[in-house]
Structure 1
Amino acid sequence: MSLLVDKSIVIIGGTTGLGLSAAKTFVDEGASVVIVGRDGANAAAATEAIGGKAVSFVGDAIESDTAPSAIGLSLSKFGRFDGLYHVAGGSGRSMGDGPLHEITDEGWQYTVDLNLTSLFKSNRAAVVQFLKQGSGGSILNMGSVLGHRPSPKYFASHTYAATKSAINGFTRSIAAYYAKDNIRINVLAPALVETPMSQRASQDDTIQSFIATKQPLDGGRNGKASDLDAAAVYFMSDGSRFTTGQQLNVDGGWSVSEGQWGRLQ
């Protein structure tokens, strides 16, 4: 039985990586999707790969009109809006994020805007539309285990960690406020997953040896984008109708594993 039949879902950051994998799975489960990304070529390729139940919208998640426009496209193209999956975000390391004593003002602001401001704007747009509809709905935000389970040896990007921690607090706060309106808001928190953002760690043999002990499930490996899809389907489906304000770690065991870098030096 398909779990998302007749749902229309907007995915912010849906043209590559985790968002694209989720978009394909959502469509397989019966949904229609609007996928949002900054690169027009990626958006076109993603739409073609997914098929007729997907449309793309080219826009920057940080811009205030991007999420409302994507939601409007969902309404005009598919006649409804049922869920928002905010995946967009990433590392600010190249822009000046890192350990606190090295973070630049520019690196801080860039990373906060990329991971937190964009999410605030998409969540606001979704809640405004859900309230207008009076129908409730589901929002799923992308967090990270680094927001609550730091790893100082190899993953010391303190602005990134701060934004991901803030996402959890923000989500819980708005979930509590809008529960009376039947609006569900939850967080999905992965550990190291194979994405363009993770290439630095994925190509470092020392870090990969650490990951084998920090993420020991399934033989000890990096996550795959598809590892998150079933959880995302759950939160977008009516199966989560009694779940809000929760964070689910899909992390290969990161949150409960020590990680044995000390033995590898």
Structure 2
Amino acid sequence: MENWLVNKSIVIIGGTTGLGFSAAKAFVRNGANVVVVGRNPENCLVAELHLGHTARAKAGDATHPQTALDAIQLCIREFGSFDGLYHVAGGSGEKFGDGPLHDLSLEGWNKTLDLNLTSLMLSNQAAIRTFMGMNKGGTILNMSSVLGFSPASRHFANHAYATAKSAVIGFSKSIAASYASKNIRVNVLSPGILQGSEDTTDQSEKFVTSKQPLDGGRYGTPTDLDGATVYLMSEYSKFTTGQVLTVDGGWDITDGQF
């Protein structure tokens, strides 16, 4: 890749590990300044050291209303601009009680939606308010999942998570429509099943590797999404909004083998 993101200053919510950290490295390689936000202060230190002088890291909980706003203000203070938000923060709510509907606890439902959807609403709201306050356009990229629209009930029946990831798409399209006239773009990235994203069994591994047959059949890795994130945050996608780009190794179009 060439320097697709020169002069861009981007905030990544959930940017100190996994998908977000991989994207942060790709953004820096392509000339961007980045602010990464993560829950763990140690991960923040490691991320900042690894990413170099064009990056800052900030510890914070994405479900708290002030977290994204503080990160955006840090971005403006340190780099003189704020051009894009990439919201990655979220994850499984299984430990809180997410699961099939007949087993789903109210706490599991609420915590999973908070983790994956409320946090995203708050970061997007902070970004939209900042873009409007600065009277400029900008870019938002949100994280969904193939499980939000292409379920696999035998191995992935976490219904609160699927609801949240489906809602990310509806929410993103709705705000994309509302703010397109202000040159604010909102798009969605939907990855397939990633390595380490759930407790694997021999059966679930066989299913995933047959359902995602590209590149020999495998789980996704964070770097599989880097090119898509760079494209959607860059000027190459300046005429694109309200779209869902699925990077899933073929999951959505393939019958997995049980």
The normalised TM-score by structure 1 is 0.96
Letter in 1 for 2:117: L
Aligned to 2:234: 237
Letter in 1 for 2:110: Q
Q: Distance in 2 between matches of 1:199 and 1:258?
A: 20
Letter in 1 for 2:218: R
Letter in 2 for 1:72: Q
**SS in structure 2 at match of 1:244:** coil
Aligned to 2:199: 200
| Among 213, 217, 221, the residue aligned to 2:218 | 221
Q: Distance in 2 between matches of 1:134 and 1:243?
A: 20
Q: Distance in 2 between matches of 1:123 and 1:178?
A: 12
Q: Distance in 2 between matches of 1:94 and 1:129?
A: 35
Letter in 1 for 2:61: D
Q: Percent identity?
A: 56
Matched, 1:212 2:212: no
The normalised TM-score by structure 2 is 0.98
Matched, 1:100 2:101: yes
Aligned to 2:116: 115
Post-superposition offset of 1:194 = 2.1
Letter in 1 for 2:48: T
**SS in structure 1 at match of 2:199:** helix
Aligned to 1:136: 137
Aligned to 2:53: 52
Post-superposition offset of 1:199 = 4.1
Q: Distance in 1 between matches of 2:189 and 2:86?
A: 10
Letter in 1 for 2:210: T
Post-superposition offset of 1:157 = 0.2
Number of residue pairs the alignment of both structures matches: 257
Q: Deviations over 1:161-205 (max 9, x none)?
A: 00000000000000000000000000000011124xx1413xx22
Segments ≥4 residues shifted beyond 4 Å: none
List runs of 5+ in structure 2 lacking aligned partners.
none
**SS in structure 2 at match of 1:85:** strand
Q: How does 1:1-265 map to 2 (within 5 A)?
A: 1-195=2-196, 198-201=197-200, 204-261=201-258
Letter in 2 for 1:6: N
List runs of 5+ in structure 1 lacking aligned partners.
none
Bigger Cα displacement from structure 2, 46-55 vs 81-90: 46-55
Post-superposition offset of 1:215 = 0.2
